[in-house]
Amino acid sequence: MRESEKIYDALSQTDDDMISECEKRYASAKTKNSKRKRLVRILAVAAALAALSAVVAVTLAASKRPLPVTYDPDTEDTVYHPETTDNTQTTEPRETVTEKKQDQPVLIEDRKPFSYVAGLPGLTGDSMSDYQNRMGFRVTGLPGVYDRLAAAMINAGMDVVSPVNVYTALSMLAECADGGSRAQILDLLGAPDMETLRENSKNVWRSLYREDEFGSTVSASSVWLDSSLSFKQDCVEKLVADHFASVSAGDFSSDEYKAQIRKWLSDNTRGLLDEQIRGLTFDNARAVLSSTLYMKATWENKFVKETVKHSFDGKKTCEFMSDTAEDRVYFEDGFIAYRRDLGGKAGAVWFFLPDEGNSVKNVTDSGVISYINGKKSDPELCILNLRIPEFDVSADSDITDTLRALGVTECLGENADLTNLTDDPLTVSEIRHAARLTADTKGIEGAAYTVIVAPGAADPSGLREIDLFFDRPFAFAVVDAFGTPVFTGVIDSDSVK
């Protein structure tokens, strides 16, 4: 006998026995009041049995239904259909992805706009931005890569750059490329193969991400395809799953589609780079890869609210943030390094003041990111009279030639191999990077995008007192809690307020 039949027989027998017992008691009742009370009890028991029977029936029916599908970044995509009026979100499981390229590209048969939207990348712990959680995703071995990218862009004339933002965008380009085009990008990014790069790309995102009362650090990526492009499903799915990118298709001849890209860039940079974004035209584009980064954080120990007027580089009188405190300073060969922590374990801002007669270029060329993450001289605890100018520094440049100088040549010319994304002829005409960083007595705020078309208390006695005035061109690096360079650059008289 089936389990369900046994349950129902037991219920029926229980029902008969209880009703029989109730009838006997009812017959022997002496008063009208007693009869009414017992009748109420009978009705209550009958109602309870009916409810129990319904629960059992529903349970048995549910056991025959398949389990509902839930979002899992490792096995599924979340698909939006913009052409529907209610913007309903549906979930579609995807097949296991292999490294073997498909013989035929998977097309959108009706050529309608579509969008794969990357889901939340499934961090562990009670809070995604929890320090211990982020620390578990820390990627080591990349400071040298970041230094090469930063030094090359700064030497090309950019005053502020985001090495990790460029790294993210190039990781997506490597996913779309193949052959020698992919090999050159892997070499620049310090990855022996795509599997390593995919894992690094995911973990860089996870270790950066934070949103708390002290501010936020958020990276985002997107891919925009022309709907006539014969794209390959394998590549699209890897961009979603391994690079946390949203992937869309539309008509690049439409001003509306281009406006959507600009709005996405503006939203994810919090409006800090709108002037630069307005200049993006996407002429003749059939594919656009874009990556953004936004950071806002307060100082752990705030500067005094009053600012002092002081000359910067003998050219400009500006406002300086000032502080007097016991703090540690690194006296290195050719420069002085000073670290100012950000609140909530968001990271720190490192300031590098060249010695008199030394240049900022020599400091940046020496590799400030490797310095931050590597061996330093022992810091000296000093009574520090500190002055740092408030600044607002920005830069916007096509970094295509810079990347060519770093060895990425094949995908930037006629011989580009982007066949992992499409067999249609496709090359990269422009890689534009823009960044902006502001600093005042409260803290810092900055944003960047890359668009690819295609110690405790101490006794102060005996401490020397120094004046550390950043009143001439200096270098800086904003790093997260694990030394990842969010921004780096130089400050000159044009950037100070």
The domain locations on the chain are 3-62, 66-497
Residue closest to 338 by CA, chosen among 461, 164, 470: 470
Mean pLDDT of 428-451: 95
Strand partners, 490: 475
Is residue 249 scored above 80 in pLDDT? yes
pLDDT in tens, 130-161: 665 566 566 677 899 999 999 999 999 999 99
The confidence score (pLDDT) of residue 250 equals: 92
Strand partners, 322: 387
Strand partners, 330: 337
257 Cβ partners below 8 Å, 6+ apart?
224, 250, 251
Query: What Å distances lie between residue 287 and 55, 138, 228, 458, CA to CA?
Result: 55, 31, 10, 58
337 near 375, Cβ under 8 Å? Answer: no
Percentage of the residues of the chain whose pLDDT score is greater than 90: 51
- What's phi and psi for 284, nearest 5 deg? 60, 20
Q: Which of 52-61, 214-223, 286-295, 456-465 has the lowest mean pLDDT?
A: 52-61
Mean pLDDT of 72-85: 35
Q: E strand or H helix at 188, and its extent?
A: helix 179-188
Q: Which of 3-17, 92-106, 178-192, 377-391 has the lowest mean pLDDT?
A: 92-106
DSSP designation for 345:
G
Q: How many other CB atoms are found less than 10 A from the CB of residue 283? A: 10
Q: CATH assignment of 66-497, given 3.40.50.300, 3.30.497.10, 3.50.50.60, 3.40.50.720?
A: 3.30.497.10
Q: Mark out the alpha helices in 327-381 (DSSP H runs).
A: 360-365, 368-373
Is residue 98 scored above 70 in pLDDT? no
Strand partners, 218: 294
